[in-house]
Amino acid sequence: RRVHGGSSEEMLLVTVGTTKFDELIEAVDQLDFLTTAKKHNISCVRVQIGAGVYVPQRFGWLEEGKDGSGGGSGGGDWNGLKLSFFRFSNELQRIVSQAKVVVTHGGSGTVLECMRAHKPTLVVPNELLMHNHQQELATTLDELHHIVKSSPATLALKLDHLFQTQHTVRPFPAKSDEQFLSVVDNLLRQ
C-alpha cells in the first residue's frame, strides 16, 4: 500500500529482473489482465520491463529517471487504473514492500525476496532461461502453496485465482532460508 498525493493506492508490481521477458510484459499489457487487477481493487500497476524489447502500449514511463524509484507521476491510465513502467531500479526491494501483490519471473532471488516480504506472489517462469530451472522452482513452491505459478497465457486467470486464494497461500517461514536453498540446490543438481 502506498500513499500517493493524499490517496491510498493498492499497487500491483510486475518484475522481470535484469533479463528480457517480453512474453510476460505483453500478457500484462492485455485487457483481461488489467480488468482482473481492477476487479480486485488494484489502483496502480507498475511494471519493470528489464532489458526487454516490448514496450507496453497502455503504460507510460515513470518519471524521475525512469527507474521506478520515487513517486513519479508519469504513466498512463486505463479506466482509472494508473499504469507505469520502468526498466531497472535500485529501489526494487522498497517497491516490493509497497506492493499489494507481485507478479514476477521465476528468478530464485526475486521469488525469495517476495516470499520474505510476505507478498502474495504469482510466479511466471521464463522458460527461455536457465534450462527450465525457473519452471522447476515455481512448480515446487506452488506445490508447497507458497506461491501461485502461471504462464503468460494463463496470467489473468491465475491472477484472479491468487486474489481469491491469497489467504490460503502459506507464508514462507522467516528462518527457512535453508529450506529454500535446499530446494534450489536440489533443482540445480538434477
Residue 150 has, within 13 A of its CA and on its CB side, a CA count of 26
Give the mean pLDDT of 65-84.
68
Number of Cβ within a 10 Å radius of residue 48: 25
pLDDT for the residue 45: 96
Residue 182 has a pLDDT of 72
- Residue 6 Cα to chain centre, angstroms: 25
- Mean pLDDT, the chain, rounded, equals 84
How far is residue 25's CA from residue 55's CA, in Å, rounded to a whole number?
A: 8
* C-alpha to C-alpha distance for 117 and 124, rounded to whole angstroms: 18
pLDDT tens track for 25-36: 999 999 999 999
Residue 66: per-residue pLDDT: 46
The residue behind cell 529454500 is 180
Mean pLDDT, residues 139-146 taken together: 92
In terms of Cα–Cα distance, which of 165, 68, 168, 177 is closest to 116? 177
The confidence band for 40, taking pLDDT boundaries of 50, 70 and 90, is very high
Spell out the residues 6+ positions from residue 114 whose beta carbon is closer than 8 angstroms to its own.
96, 102, 104, 121, 147
Cα–Cα distance between 190 and 187 in angstroms, integer?
5
- CA 74 to CA 115: how far, in whole Å? 29
The percentage of residues in the chain with a pLDDT greater than 70, rounded to a whole number, is: 81
Question: What are the start-end ranges of the E strands in 106-174?
Answer: 121-124, 148-149
Distance between CA atoms of residues 25 and 56, nearest Å: 7
Q: Which of 100-104, 113-117, 158-162, 181-185 has the lowest mean pLDDT?
A: 181-185
Q: How confident is the model at residue 174 (pLDDT cuts 50, 70, 90)?
A: low
The predicted structure's pLDDT at residue 59: 86
Indicate the residue type of 80: G
For the stretch 93-128, pLDDT in tens is 999 999 999 999 999 999 999 998 999 999 999 988
pLDDT beyond 60 at 166: yes
